[in-house]
């Protein structure tokens, strides 16, 4: 893969041009990764609104019908339901790990087998979350198993 960067001081925005013989899995992955860079989520913190980059979210968990965005430093309540957050993050590194959990695979550092055919996902902040046995195959596919 060849990467060329051209600086233009007169440009008003970043433009990415992909030239390829055919759109394959690598091209799709590059497009998804680039699209994830501009994804932002809005949440409620201390009575005010906060905007967070999706890339900074470790995981999203639904508790009593309310979605919470877990970052390295803070937990932010989302006005969206979990399935709505999942739809906004389609095509990114977020994977459904259970009925109530989305995990950002960019922050997963290890996978361990867990009781009942479940998987333990260790995040880069040291925290662990559990992928249910129903969603464990999707998590394994994400890493190529």
pLDDT tens digits, 32-65: 677 666 688 888 888 788 889 888 999 999 999 8
Q: What is the pLDDT of residue 36?
A: 62
Per-residue model confidence (pLDDT) at position 47: 76
Please give the CATH topology (third level) of the domain spanning 40-142.
Answer: OB fold (Dihydrolipoamide Acetyltransferase, E2P) (2.40.50)
∠ CA 140-142-3, rounded to 5°: 150
pLDDT at 75 over 80: yes
At 53, list the tokens.
């980059």
Separation between Cα atoms, residue 31 and residue 25, nearest integer Å: 10
pTM above 0.85, yes or no: no
Would the pLDDT of 66 be above 80?
A: yes
pLDDT tens digits, 1-37:
788 888 889 988 888 888 889 888 888 777 767 766 6
- Residue 126 three-state SS: coil
């Amino acid at each position: 893969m060849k990467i060329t960067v051209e600086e233009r001081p007169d440009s008003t925005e970043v433009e990415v041009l992909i030239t390829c013989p055919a759109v394959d899995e690598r091209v799709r992955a590059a497009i998804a990764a680039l699209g994830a860079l501009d994804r932002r989520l809005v949440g409620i913190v201390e009575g005010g609104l906060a905007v967070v980059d999706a890339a900074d979210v470790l995981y999203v968990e639904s508790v009593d019908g309310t979605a919470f965005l877990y970052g390295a430093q803070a937990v932010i309540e989302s006005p969206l339901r979990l399935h709505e957050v999942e739809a906004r993050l389609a095509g990114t590194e977020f994977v459904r790990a259970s009925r109530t959990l989305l995990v950002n695979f960019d922050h997963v550092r290890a996978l361990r087998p867990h009781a009942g055919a479940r998987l333990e996902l260790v995040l880069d902040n040291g925290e662990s979350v559990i992928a249910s046995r129903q969603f464990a195959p999707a998590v394994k596919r994400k890493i190529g198993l």
